[in-house]
Structure 1
Amino acid sequence: MTELILVRHGQANSHATDEAEYDRLSHLGVQQAEWLGAHLAQTNPHFDHVITGTLNRQIGTARAMGYQIAEQDPRLDELSYFALARAIEAQHGIPAPSDATEFARYLPQVIEHWARGDLADVPETFEHFTMRITGLLDEICQRNGRILIVTSGGVIGTVMRQALGLDIPGMAKVMLQVMNSSLHRLEHVHDMLMVGTFNATPHLDAPDRAHARTFI
């Protein structure tokens, strides 16, 4: 059996206007990761393998958690949100949101246009994004043991889509709910991915850490 523990990176630079600016942890993001690492150290700290994407915020999260990274795989990198946002505004007149309520309506529109192939000149197609993630999952599930994967919300949403058979709107809703530094546990048994835990944040559940429960 293979047990997968997926972690979304800690809070990144939420004031960024492009991919490069976004790809660094905020001070709170580092703290979130440290708290998560301390929680795992007190419960079940052992992993047979630790994998991250190649993004700074993913690598920084794993290190702040206290883990040595065995492998960095670009297939765990996030979708290019800012490029998709520019494309949907230029090609369909849908501007970027100005607050959280607008974002909750906006992201599903972006994903649906992207999935339909309605966005031109973007870094990768939706099909390529999906296939690189599911291809890596297939490889990882051939390994035995407990594996920590530090990645991003869009990747986690895609994994949940595969495991639960979600449609595109359902996947977009899942992506909206994935909190920074959240835990997601899946098991590969009987040739199937089974979801055991989604979006857990036990390291942030204390009342004095309520401010640290972030999505962006």
Structure 2
Amino acid sequence: MVKIIAPNREYNGTVGDVQFKDGVADTDNPAVLAYCRSAGYEVGGETATTLEEPAPADPREVGNGLIGTPLRDAAVDPKPEDFLAPVNAGQANPHGAEVVSPEIHAALGPTPLVPGLVGDPAMQQDRESEAARLALVDQLPAAAVVDELADGNAQEQPAGNASQEAWADWVLATHPELDPESVRAMKRDDLRTEYGKTE
């Protein structure tokens, strides 16, 4: 039996199935022994030392150290390596109507879907930035933007065994009036049957 002494020397109650009298009890119950050790009771002549909680940091003592990468607004401080940086970035008021973001290919929003296959990142960036400029800065309607970008950029129909994604891209580029979600949900053979050109 292991002797347990409660922090309150006048305790006359129970812990689990162990009865205390004047703060003292004896037991071999491992669950009661473990509880008593963790609760600050003296168990077998030893009292577990409790770890002191560290004091919270005082914000007055914390310096202005940089953690991670500093944020940079590409509309204010554009870099040549920025992909799809805002149109007119660094040239016009970054909070004005002439600095607009082209977003990403086929993003739903005020700009039309940019016709053409996505493959060459530099060409994609130029075309989508131009689409954003025409639609958001020059305020051209979506159909006019698509016509403007389609000139000289007619693309060939994908091969019959091309991926569903290639067919969806081609259908959306050649039929900008269609709902992108609906087109992307269609199967490749359905896209080919409904929109493909037969020789």
TM-score (norm 1): 0.26
More strand by share: 1
Larger Rg, first or second structure (1 or 2): 2
